Amino acid sequence: MSIFVDQETRLLVQGITGRDGSFHTRQMISYGTKLVAGVTPGKGGQLFDGVVPVFDTVADAVRETKPTCSVIYVPAAVAASAILEAADAGLPLVVCITEGIPVLDMTRALPFLHEHGARLIGPNCPGLISPTKGKVGIIPGNICKPGRIGVVSRSGTLTYEIIHQLTRAGHGQSTCVGIGGDPLIGTNFIECLSAFEADPDTDAVVLIGEIGGTDEQQAAEFAQRGMTKPVIGFIAGQTAPPGRRMGHAGAIISGSSGTAAEKMAAFERAGISVMKRPADVVPLLEERL
């Protein structure tokens, strides 16, 4: 099994004819993802690469092709509207790759998603992949290998590094999820940990956090009381000075609870094995399996 996406996922791409959308659409098709439609307003009726039908609206695409998931590659100024459109059309899973979406836009989008029962992955994320089953987003498929280790991360680049370390050591992945590094995101660590705990084909989870906020501490509390599977953790930004944003909009230390040291201590208290560097993931994982 896997979480959130698998071989039955029917994918719709919002922004399919743009530069990023078209490039990554071809990558997802090449990987084997079942891509059924694209949406670009004003370009309805076209065929992307002569194969994928393009529609003017998500509602039209849903009515004609029955997608189960949307991935969004549109500019930040209209990305929240694209999220709302996908949820309004009844899609149960929406993945938003776009970064730089105004926080105020997300304060309006998240309650709407909740009201419509839609799950959002992102924004400002690399998406997710269930190796050999489905790839939604920008995670490179060539570094992934099917297996029984779940990966959940706030950092796109570190997601790739951890996957590479696991694959090189022969540890395949069940699903890898990049949840995004913005202050307001859809799916959090706890929801991913819960899904991996319920997945019979996931044996352990690697959790990659970073400075800022308290999501990692909350994930640690959940893991301590609600996880029977081992969790290996890493916190990025261990040398970051307070008050300086490091990369993601959410990666800023605004108090003692946002520091790498406090997060790593919370992991250790919860029984999560803590990596000092990404290269530690394999030996720590093998100790727990």
Tens digit of pLDDT for each residue in 211-248? 888 899 999 999 999 999 999 999 987 765 665 555 55
What mean pLDDT value characterizes the chain?
A: 93
Q: Are residues 197 and 265 in the same domain?
A: yes
Q: Are residues 168 and 92 in the same domain?
A: no
Domain count, the chain: 2
| pLDDT of 251 | 47
| pLDDT of 257 | 60
80 is in which domain, residue-wise? 10-121
| pLDDT of 212 | 80
Residue 164 falls in the annotated catalytic set: no
pTM over 0.85: yes
The verdict on residue 126 lying in a domain is no
- Final residue in a domain of this structure, among 66, 90, 121: 121
Residue among 114, 116, 164, 248 flagged as catalytic: 248
Closest by alpha carbon to 76, among 20, 115, 133, 135?
A: 20
The verdict on residue 127 lying in a domain is no
Across 144-174, b (16+ Cβ under 10 Å) vs e yields: bbebbbbbbbbbbebbbbbbebbbeeebebb
What's the pLDDT tens digit per position in 2-30? 999 999 999 999 999 999 999 999 999 99
| pLDDT of 199 | 98
The verdict on residue 132 lying in a domain is no
What's the pLDDT tens digit per position in 45-64? 999 999 999 999 999 999 99
The verdict on residue 1 lying in a domain is no
pLDDT at 255 over 90: no
